[in-house]
Amino acid sequence: MDAAAPLLLFDSGVGGLSVLDEVRKALPQAPVIYAADNGGLPYGTKSEAEIAARVCGLLGRMSERFRPRLICIACNTASTIALAMVRDVLAVPIVGTVPAIKPAAAMTRSGTIGLLGTAATIRQGYVDRLQAEFAEGKTLLRFAASELVGAAEEKLRGEPVDPAVIARAVAGLRDQPGGAAIDTVVLACTHFPLLRDELAAAFGTGVGFVDGASGIARRIVHLTQGQPFERTVPDRALFTRANDDLAALAPALHRYGLERMEVL
């Protein structure tokens, strides 16, 4: 194993940074390439076919070009739709992001769990299967909070978060029959932990949040056990489109240790 071979973390935008945060804590020495398909953002309102084609195509090209030791699809939407396909076509180990229904089912005391994801994620059979397997006997209320994706993107560009957007996401769960009993919320989109403080304030005390990031970091540690790591070039963030607003992301990317930005 080449010690400089990177971990490649992939998302449609900045959401995967919430995963990178946990990966950094677990493997601070690991070289990282963070890839954002901002040209395809948002994934959550696209069709399954469109998402699968973009994700398979991009990961195929990047895997050839950057030779990562492991790819992490740090995006629930892309993972719940395309994880099996990507695994079929690429030889590199792939870690996906699965809505954290299992830990939520262990956490809830009221037996009512809320799940915030994108529209594409919450309609997946993958989520139905997780519910059947891990949350039998519990109530799982889902809401497509696609607006939160844009809010997280803006926050990381230093813009204020609109409280009305947060309030609509909270109401989307609370206003469903039985929603008042929610005590645990699954953040089933990697963008949403970036808004955890705002969501926690809006839900109020007594509601806990769970996401998949620490589980993903543990899985990556396990799969790379015994491998050497050496950062020979600064870690970088890659984008698929040269938007004007990318420069505004530089300070946030630096906070996550991504020192350079490039457009693919």
Check residue 115 for interaction with ligand DGL (CB under 6 A).
no
Concerning whether 189 is annotated as a catalytic residue, the answer is yes
Which of 76, 108, 139, 184 touches ligand DGL (CB under 6 A)?
A: 76
Task: For residue 86, give both structure tokens.
Answer: 């990507």
Interface mask toward ligand DGL for 20-49; x: CB under 6 A: ---------------------xxxx-----
Total of residues contacting ligand DGL (CB under 6 A)? 17
- Spatial contact of 71 and 19, defined as CB atoms under 8 Å apart: no
CA angle 201, 253, 192 (to 5 degrees): 30
Choice from 20, 35, 75, 210 touching ligand DGL (CB under 6 A): 75
CA distance 154 to 147: 11
Q: Tell me how far apart the alpha carbons of residues 220 and 217 are, in angstroms, rounded to a whole number.
A: 5
Tell which phi-psi region holds residue 212, choosing left (phi > 0), alpha (psi between -120 and 50) or beta: alpha
- Name the 3-class secondary structure at 110: coil
Q: Among 52, 189, 210, 237, which one carries the catalytic annotation?
A: 189
Residues 146-205 that bind ligand DGL (CB under 6 A): 149, 189-191
As beta bridge partners, residue 72 has: 9, 95
CB of 216 to ligand DGL, least distance (A): 11
Q: Which two tokens stand for residue 95?
A: 């870690």
Active-site residue (options: 7, 75, 82, 100): 75
Draw the binding track, 217-256, toward ligand DGL (x: CB under 6 A; -: no contact): ----------------------------------------
Among 5, 7, 15, 105, binds ligand DGL (CB under 6 A): 15
Q: How far is the CB of 82 from ligand DGL (least distance, A)?
A: 12
Please confirm, yes or no, whether 75 is among the known catalytic residues: yes
**Which range in 9-17, 160-168, 215-223, 239-247 contacts ligand DGL by CB under 6 A?**
9-17
Q: Could you check whether the bond before residue 93 is cis, i.e. omega within 30 degrees of 0? A: no
12 binds ligand DGL (CB under 6 A): yes
Both structure tokens of 164: 């009305």
Query: What token pair was written down for 220?
Result: 């990556």
Q: Which amino acid is at 85?
A: M
**121 is a site residue for ligand DGL (CB under 6 A):** yes
CB count in 10 Å sphere of residue 119? 16
The only residue of 38, 77, 139, 224 in contact with ligand DGL, by rule CB under 6 A: 77
Please list, in sequence order, all residues whose beta carbon lies within 8 angstroms of the beta carbon of residue 140, skipping any fewer than 6 positions away: 101, 113, 115, 131
CB of 230 to ligand DGL, least distance (A): 30
Annotated catalytic residues are: 75, 189
> What residues make contact with ligand DGL under the rule CB under 6 A?
11-13, 15, 41-44, 75-77, 118, 121, 149, 189-191
